[in-house]
Amino acid sequence: MTSSTPRSDVISSTARRRAIVAGSVGNFIEWYEFGIYGFLATILAAQFFSDGQQTGIESLIATYASFAIAFFFRPVGAALFGRIGDRIGRKPTLILVLVMMSGATALIGILPTYASIGVAAPILLTIVRILQGLSAGGEFGGAVSVMTEFAPAGKRGFYGSWQSFTVALGLLGGAGTVALLASLLSEADLAAWGWRIAFLLAIPLGAVALFLRLRLEETPEFQKVATADTTKVAEPVVRAGAAETAKAILLGIGRLMGWSAAGYTFLVVMPSYLQSSLNASFQEALISTVLANAGFAATILPAGWLSDKIGRRWVMLTGTGLIVILALPLLNVLQNPDLGVGVHGLAVFVAGAVVGLIAGPGPAMLAEMFPTSVRYTGLGLSYSISNAVFSGSAGLIITSLIASTGNVDVPAYYVMATCLVSAIAIGTLRGNAHRAELRK
């Protein structure tokens, strides 16, 4: 590959594979951590947010508030690291956010609890969650930029879908880790110290991810922009204006909000909802979550591939439409104890699968909205703001509304409303946008 003006047709297959793997591995760690935090929410509530006076629902709400705070720092991280990534390159920025993210996750595993240091415990946990939010905000834009900028013609949807697929793998990894710990340890030991193991596993995971990212090449699209800036003789580079970029970010948020809300409601919040509202056991809730994430993983890559054939719009509209139609019936199935474990398992599997129809084409759809010079920033801000508002707050909103209204159908209404808005925004996509080259 030439060093000055790299061309997509001479990118080696090895470089493309490294782009997928190195881009994906950080997402795996990010969503592994957010997964275990959600799956262990009831334990963390007792360890960090309870002085023995609050009810279980009150401490759980406080836990989700800390969860939401991390998400609201994601846009800050997206703006900060996105700017760096669009200036100095995707590779060094992704290495920086990986080290920060893995370190913050491991820190949770050694934090003292409320019983040890009192009110300082939830404060320290919240500070660490803020660091995680900052670093996670810089992950998505860089990872998707790497995957889509290395993708060969006609395969951006499939390449970008690996980001979403590793989200599913991360959540499954988190659920599997917690399930394994729950099976090996007594409930008392898991609550006392076993939960720490799940967070400390970020150390070896981060070491592997760092090795892979150090071997990553800079993307050809970024190198073209850097060459143009340096020599002033390469092909012209688009410099998007602030107003145009802001408009694209707002549109991107609208297109993603249903994915954000439904994804976190079905894939992360569900365990605590099943336990607190439907009296399910910890093991039953985890099994349901594993099945939901398995359904999610099953449709992501096929949806990304299909979007390269027929377009992002129709695949994503199918996903949002199915969620609007099926959310309440699927939740009602879970609420009916007479239907049996098999039917309940099928319901959560289907719930995850329809979210995958949005998540598969989603990364490529976003990448196609921004020129190279602001792609890292635009991708990151669209995704992180959407997640901050509609994912990070999902547990807090749902738990609070159920507590105040007593209506256990709140999760279904929440995802239905957000997916309806997303469907309108997705409908503005051009049908042939997937066939055009990425904007320079």
* Full DSSP string of 115-126: HHHTTHHHHHHH
Query: What would the pLDDT profile of 112-171 be if each residue is shown by its tens digit?
Result: 998 899 889 888 998 998 998 899 899 999 999 999 999 988 899 999 999 999 988 998
pLDDT of 268 > 90? The answer is: no
pLDDT given for residue 273 in this prediction: 66
Phi, psi of 164 (to 5 degrees): -65, -35
Q: Which residue has the higher pLDDT, 393 or 304?
A: 304
pLDDT given for residue 2 in this prediction: 40
d(CA 110, CA 339): 42
Binned at pLDDT 50, 70 and 90, residue 98 comes out as very high
% of residues, the chain, pLDDT over 90: 49
DSSP three-state, residue 232 = coil
Summarize the confidence of residues 70-89 as an average pLDDT: 90
CA distances in angstroms from 149 to 48, 154, 237, 297, listed in the order given: 42, 12, 15, 23
d(CA 428, CA 312): 11
Q: Which residue has the higher pLDDT, 392 or 287?
A: 287
Q: Which residue has the higher pLDDT, 26 or 280?
A: 26
Averaged pLDDT score across all residues of the chain: 85
pLDDT of 258 > 90? The answer is: yes
pLDDT given for residue 418 in this prediction: 95
d(CA 434, CA 436): 6
Lowest mean pLDDT across 145-154, 219-228, 253-262: 219-228
Summarize the confidence of residues 12-41 as an average pLDDT: 86
Q: Which residue has the higher pLDDT, 277 or 200?
A: 200
pLDDT of 187 > 90? The answer is: no
pLDDT of 341 > 80? The answer is: no
How many other C-beta atoms lie within 10 A of the C-beta of residue 204? 11
d(CA 61, CA 395): 8
Summarize the confidence of residues 344-360 as an average pLDDT: 92
pLDDT given for residue 373 in this prediction: 87
pLDDT of 272 > 70? The answer is: no
Q: Are 353 and 131 in contact (CB under 8 A)?
A: no
Summarize the confidence of residues 352-370 as an average pLDDT: 94
Lowest mean pLDDT across 70-74, 142-146, 337-341: 337-341
The verdict on pTM exceeding 0.85 is no
Summarize the confidence of residues 165-191 as an average pLDDT: 89
What 177-186 contacts at long range (C-beta under 8 Å, 24+ apart), as own/partner pairs, is: 177/32, 177/36, 177/201, 178/36, 178/39, 178/40, 178/286, 179/283, 179/286, 179/287, 179/290, 182/282, 182/283, 182/286
pLDDT given for residue 54 in this prediction: 56
d(CA 35, CA 293): 11
Binned at pLDDT 50, 70 and 90, residue 277 comes out as low
Summarize the confidence of residues 349-358 as an average pLDDT: 94
Summarize the confidence of residues 314-343 as an average pLDDT: 89
pLDDT given for residue 417 in this prediction: 94
d(CA 340, CA 344): 6
Summarize the confidence of residues 199-222 as an average pLDDT: 92
Lowest mean pLDDT across 74-83, 111-120, 384-393: 384-393
Phi, psi of 287 (to 5 degrees): -60, -40
Out of 32-36, 395-399, 410-414, give the one with best mean pLDDT. Answer: 410-414
pLDDT given for residue 229 in this prediction: 57
Residue 262 identity (one-letter amino acid): A
Residue 156 identity (one-letter amino acid): R
Summarize the confidence of residues 15-35 as an average pLDDT: 88
pLDDT of 7 > 50? The answer is: no
| 419 contact partners, CB below 8 Å, separation of at least 6 | 258, 261, 262, 320, 321, 323, 324, 327
